[in-house]
């Protein structure tokens, strides 16, 4: 009886060992579900029905696997850039290549391919953890960065409502007493594409005045290094990591901070 019923109606089959369930359909409507115990030879199958309803196990966990892989790549990236002072004074070419490869791997799995349409994920404060911008040779000497001036954090605050970016580079000076201060650069930006912004320099200040006295002679050199004007493409963006590339070929990696 079960076999005759099965042979007379269109059906979808869900195998459960020796017992099978059959969803009997008429057009787009389900009529009923019957459960019978039969031999596989009694089931009439269309060749194209094979595995139609099977869901590969790997697809069920693909999202979790991808997330895990991104997490692992980020962890490896953080380990690689540890102790290199953001790369500002140069690093070995092998280390630089390793960082570049990890950045490219993350970019290939970018969870926010259209970041300028998701500016809520961009706004806030970020800290530079790596850049290919360098201060080497005579530039480093002229700025006193070999002897008595130390670079602190590089911070960037994005104000989406005002279309502004506030870049802060902190310094400390060794001498008779410790002096701390910062270079502040204000820039505006406009959206140029779904992943790119154009940046325009607006103003800069150094505080306190004692720090300005140290850099006054080479202030143009200092601004040339840190001036963000040009375009920037955001090539990777998630909740706590941002990667960008500018029109000068530089790579920037920043992490979200308070």
What pLDDT does 14 receive? 37
pLDDT in tens, 89-101: 999 999 999 999 9
- Computed over every residue of the chain, the mean pLDDT equals 82
**pLDDT grade, residue 141 (50/70/90)?**
very high
What pLDDT does 66 receive? 60
Q: What is the pTM of this model?
A: 0.73
**pLDDT grade, residue 239 (50/70/90)?**
very high
d(CA 145, CA 187): 25
Write out the DSSP string of 60-127: HTHHHHHHHHHHHHHHHHHHHHTTSGGGTT---HHHHHHHHHHHHHHHTT-S-S-GGG-GGGT-EEEE
The arithmetic mean of pLDDT across residues 29-35, rounded, is 39
**pLDDT grade, residue 176 (50/70/90)?**
low
Among 4-13, 167-176, 199-208, which is the least confidently predicted range? 4-13
The arithmetic mean of pLDDT across residues 7-27, rounded, is 41
**pLDDT grade, residue 245 (50/70/90)?**
very high
d(CA 61, CA 163): 39
Selected residue with higher pLDDT from 12 and 234: 234
d(CA 177, CA 104): 44
Residue 102 reports pLDDT greater than 90: yes
What pLDDT does 35 receive? 40
């Amino acid at each position: 009886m079960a076999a005759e019923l099965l042979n007379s109606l269109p059906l979808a089959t869900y195998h459960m060992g020796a017992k099978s369930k059959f969803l009997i359909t008429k057009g787009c409507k389900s009529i009923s579900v019957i459960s019978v115990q039969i031999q596989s030879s009694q089931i009439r199958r269309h060749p194209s029905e094979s595995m139609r309803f099977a869901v590969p196990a790997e697809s069920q966990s693909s999202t979790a696997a991808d997330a895990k892989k991104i997490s692992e790549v980020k962890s490896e990236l953080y380990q690689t850039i540890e102790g290199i002072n953001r790369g500002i004074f140069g690093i070995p070419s092998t280390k630089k290549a390793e960082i570049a490869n990890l950045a490219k791997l993350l970019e290939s799995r970018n969870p926010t391919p259209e970041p300028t349409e998701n500016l809520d994920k961009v706004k806030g404060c970020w800290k530079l953890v790596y850049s290919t911008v360098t201060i080497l040779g005579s530039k480093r000497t002229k700025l006193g960065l070999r002897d008595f001036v130390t670079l602190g954090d590089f911070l960037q605050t994005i104000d989406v409502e005002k279309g502004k970016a506030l870049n802060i580079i902190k310094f400390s000076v060794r001498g008779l007493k410790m002096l701390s201060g910062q270079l502040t650069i204000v820039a505006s930006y406009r959206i140029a594409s779904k992943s790119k912004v154009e940046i325009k320099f607006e103003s800069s200040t150094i505080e306190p005045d004692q720090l300005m006295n140290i850099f006054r002679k080479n202030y143009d050199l200092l601004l040339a290094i840190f001036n963000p004007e040009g375009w920037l493409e955001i090539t990777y963006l998630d909740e706590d990591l941002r990667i960008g590339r500018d029109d000068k070929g530089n790579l920037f990696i920043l992490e979200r901070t308070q």
